[in-house]
Chains A and B, each alone.
Chain A
Amino acid sequence: MIAKVWRARLIARLLPYLLIAPTFVLVLMFTVLPAFNTVNDSFYKPARGLNAAGKSPQFVHLQNFVDILDDSHYMGQRFLRSFRNTLIFALATVFVAVPLGLLLALLLNRPQRLLGIWRFAVFYPALLPLIGAASIWSFIFSDSIGLANAVLRSFGHPGLNWLGDRNLVLLSVIIVNIWKQAGYFMIFFLAGLQNIARELYEAAALDGADRFQQFMGLTLPLLRRTLLFVSVISFTFAFQTVEQLQALGEGGPADSANLLLYLIFQNIAERRNWGYVNAMTLVLIAVVLVFTLGNFLLFERSESER
């Protein structure tokens, strides 16, 4: 009798662990261990030179980090430039694609004709595989045969070298990203808007608040959580961008549109660069972590102050 109770208790205590075990093992194997290895390997330079495969790596303290922050070093030059591009890219996504998603949601949250088609049209880019969408854009941006230049030329403009001009190419990549993400973000805002009770607006209207005041005083505060969520995911998405660069000029010319994760991917092939790859990965993780936490704490605090 007592044994039976004990067994039942034991099972009850063990069951939760058993249930999370599969996930835990997977996370341990594919996230925690690689992350630990990344930290460890970022302090080493792989063996270089002839018959390097047999030699062991060399412990170099923080030299890999020093190198990637050195503008005259071949990797530092590329890292610093890609890092700057990634920040611009991320900020452009957050400050353009997110408000645009909100605007689209506001427009498409009102009853109107063909509402379903409008919503679908705006959401459609989000459904396309990124590499396919970017390939379509690479045709649009093509110098001699592209649609973008055909339009410009019909207005008498000589056309722009969208993917070849070092001052334009990052903008081209950002345009594709905004086009791709705005519709996706809109879905979240639409869901958020539909959770706001209609009576609130009616009450506000009775109090004499105009559309703009309603938006500032009601919609925006009530969408705060959605806004936080969308900003965080858009920022982290921006740091995860790889595929579209493959189709849009591979980060060139001379890394003028290269982004961090793609730069990391580009440098995995050669063993001599593995130390740098690990160091760059750590920086990438750290930045995303800081921004996510910062963003979260900031919003959380103002949330609890209210």
Chain B
Amino acid sequence: MTALCKRTLSLCLLLSLFIGAAYAQDDIVIDFYFPSATANDAEGIFQRYADMFEEENPGISINPVFTGSYTDTRNTILTELQGGGAGPDVAVMLSIDLYSFAEEGYIVPAQTFIDGMQDGDAYVSDFFPALMRNGVDEDGNVWAIPFQRSTPILYYNADLLAEAGYDSPPTNNAELVEIAQALTTDDRHGLLVPVAGGFPIWMYQSFAIAFGHNIVDDDPTAVYFNTPEAVAAVEFVRSLGTDLGVGPAGGAAWGDTPVAFLAGQAAMIYHTTGNLTRILGGADFEVGVWYLPSGPAGEDGTGYGSPTGGGNLYIFDDGSKSQSELDAIWKWVTFLSSPAIQADWGATTGYIAANASAWQTEPLASLSMEHPQYLIARDQLQHAGKEFSSYATITIQGIINGTLESILTGESADAQAALDAAQAQIDGILADYR
């Protein structure tokens, strides 16, 4: 062994002693994994929250770990746990990941902790009901707490609409098509719906709900992918790029859509509220925001409707954690979901602050007065449906995405036949759970 090698090794040993000593001060350390799906400085923001929390709660330290995209985060955690590693104590993961992790026995219901709270009911009922829908199992037990939540909304270029003589945004599909066609030119799309690029299911669900039948309900062993409404919805989305000609055939790509909108190459887009802050800041025209237009199911509210999206807070325990550790973990979860942090988080990122009282809390209260666009996303939640989630979510979502893509790109001309085939495959998988 060379001298350099020896020196490095002894330095490492020495360092590890110090690190060990630093952690030996009886601090409870909470490993907190988080993804980022937007251009926000998530690492900086979470470090700030961790510092605030540690100041209020001596004896608990937070170790925020950035784990990449939502998919990366899920795979990181699964790999760690399946390999016998410790994994996180708390993590932000997609709200639809619930059954994947519950099935493996990696997470514990938040309900246990809520039952132990003095004002547990008040804590839960402050969250918007639509945002709880994906965090609750079929028996009504709360598993996950809403955190960075979003929903698709309609963004429109108010200047272009006004030029063409429309002073208000479309409220139903007929008006949507009419305005989109009026605003389509050689170098501008009338309407971009981002259903290309691997994840059409989310946008598609808005249409399925608007046509009258969501593809999921509260039963995680049921999927409704070949109903007449589901067929009509996918045919409508396909027609936007074909017969109606208001967007590219096959749909727009996720990342290109807001870029094209900001560049004036699209008059209206469907996109996530998670991009609201960025779009409002980047546009040199007046940005309008409205509910996704209602479908044939009706403008009484039944035909409005978008899925929700984004991430929830999950608590990990294989039964080995002490009560004081679990208490500390729950403190961190309630801290992140408190109105004060949600107001700050919502204002900084554009995600929908998850609890009603956050909207009366600064800085969100003034921001939403200044930019009423933020309120639209919140108010649309009253019409929102459950985001797609079932047992074997990842596999089934893969089937749905592949089927939608093959219909939208013209590979499967007969939508009904394609959806029937997919439904049969899905039922085959869900049979294991029924």
CA distance A145 to B258 in the complex (A): 11
Contacts of A173-219 to chain B: CB distance below 8 A: none
A254–B421 alpha-carbon span in the complex (Å) = 14
Q: Which residues of B contact A164 (CB under 8 A)?
A: 196-197, 248, 250-253, 409
Contact B409 A51 (CB under 8 A): no
B402→A78 contact, CB < 8 A: yes
* A166 CB, nearest partner CB in chain B, Å: 4
Does B13 touch A at the CB level, under 8 Å? no
| Interface of B, helix, strand, loop or mixed by DSSP | helix
A72 touches B421 (CB 8 A): yes
Judge whether B409 and A253 touch: CB under 8 Å: yes
CB interface residues, A 251-294, toward B, < 8 Å: 251-256, 266-273
The answer to whether B248 touches A143 (Cβ under 8 A) is yes
In the assembled complex, the Cα of A226 lies from the Cα of B251 at a distance in Å of 45
Whole-angstrom distance from the CB of A232 to the nearest CB of chain B? 31
Chain B: CB-nearest residue to A52 = B103
A73, CB-defined interface residue at 8 Å: yes
Known A142-B253, A164-B250, A254-B402; judge A74-B196 contact (CB<8 A).
no
Given contacts A145-B263, A253-B405, A269-B78, contact A165 B250 (CB under 8 A): yes
Residue on A with the closest CB to B196?
A: A164
In the assembly, what is the distance between CA of A255 and CA of B410, in Å? 14
A145-B260, A272-B392 known; A252-B399 Cβ under 8 A = no
**Chain A residues within 8 Å of B250, by CB:** 161, 164-166, 253
Chain A residues near B260 (CB, 8 Å)?
144-145
Instruction: Decide if B105 is an interface residue (CB 8 Å cutoff).
Output: yes
- Nearest B residue to A51 via CB reads B105
Partner of B256, one of A51, A53, A143, A253: A143
Query: Nearest A residue to B265 by beta-carbon distance?
Result: A144
A249 touches B252 (CB 8 A): no
| A41 CB–B CB distance under 8 Å | no
- Chain A, residues 42-80, CB within 8 Å of chain B (1/0): the string is 000000111111100000000000000000111001100
Residues of B contacting A255 in the complex (Cβ-Cβ under 8 angstroms): 402
Q: Is the CB of A73 within 8 A of B253?
A: no
B74 within 8 A of A: yes
CB within 8 Å of A: which of B49-82?
74-75, 78
Q: Name the interface size band of chain A.
A: 35 or more
Contact of A142 with B425 in the complex, beta carbons under 8 Å: no
Measured between alpha carbons, how far is A58 from B35 in the docked complex, in Å? 35
Tell me whether chain A's interface is mostly helix, strand or loop, or mixed.
loop
Contact with B74, one of A72, A74, A252, A269 (Cβ below 8 angstroms)? A269
- Cα distance A166–B249 in the bound complex, in angstroms: 11
Distance in angstroms between the alpha carbons of A254 and B266 in the assembled complex: 25
* B243 interfacial by beta-carbon distance below 8 Å: no
Q: Which of A48, A73, A252 has the most CB of B within 10 A?
A: A252
Whether the pair B408, A253 counts as a contact (CB closer than 8 A) is yes
Least CB distance from B226 to A in Å reads: 15
Query: Given known contacts A142-B253, A143-B252, is B392 in contact with A266 (CB within 8 Å)?
Result: no
Give the shortest distance, in Å, between A33 (CB) and chain B (any CB).
14
Residues of B31-63 whose CB lies within 8 A of A: none
Is there an interface contact between A161 and B248, defined as CB atoms closer than 8 Å? yes
How far apart are A167's CB and chain B's nearest CB, in angstroms?
A: 9
* Closest-CB distance, B412 to chain A (whole angstroms): 8
For residue A163, CB closer than 8 A to chain B, the reply is yes
Q: How far is the CA of A269 from the CA of B94 in the complex (A)?
A: 14
Tell me whether B298 is interfacial, beta carbon within 8 Å.
no
A253 to B402, CA, bound (A): 7
A252 partner, pick from B78, B189, B197, beta carbons under 8 A: B197
Q: Does B259 contact A (CB under 8 A)?
A: yes
B100 contacts the other chain (Cβ, under 8 Å)? yes
Closest chain B residue, CB of each to CB of A169: B409
Contacting pair A270 B263 (CB below 8 A): no
Whether A52 contacts B104 in the complex (CB less than 8 A), given A252-B197, A254-B406, comes out as yes
How many Å from the CB of B384 to the closest CB on chain A? 26
Known contacts: A161-B250, A163-B197. The answer to whether A270 contacts B409 by CB under 8 A is: no
**Chain A contacts for B121, CB-based, 8 A:** none
A-B contact pairs, 14 of them (CB 8 A): A50-B433, A77-B402, A145-B260, A164-B252, A165-B249, A166-B405, A166-B409, A249-B197, A250-B198, A253-B198, A254-B402, A254-B406, A269-B75, A272-B395
Q: Which 10 A-B pairs have the closest CB atoms?
A: A253-B405, A254-B405, A254-B406, A74-B425, A48-B432, A144-B260, A49-B432, A164-B196, A250-B198, A166-B409
Q: Interface on B for A, CB 8 Å cutoff?
A: 74-75, 78, 100, 103-105, 189, 196-198, 248-253, 256, 259-260, 263, 265-266, 391-392, 394-395, 398-399, 401-403, 405-406, 408-411, 421, 425, 428-429, 432-433
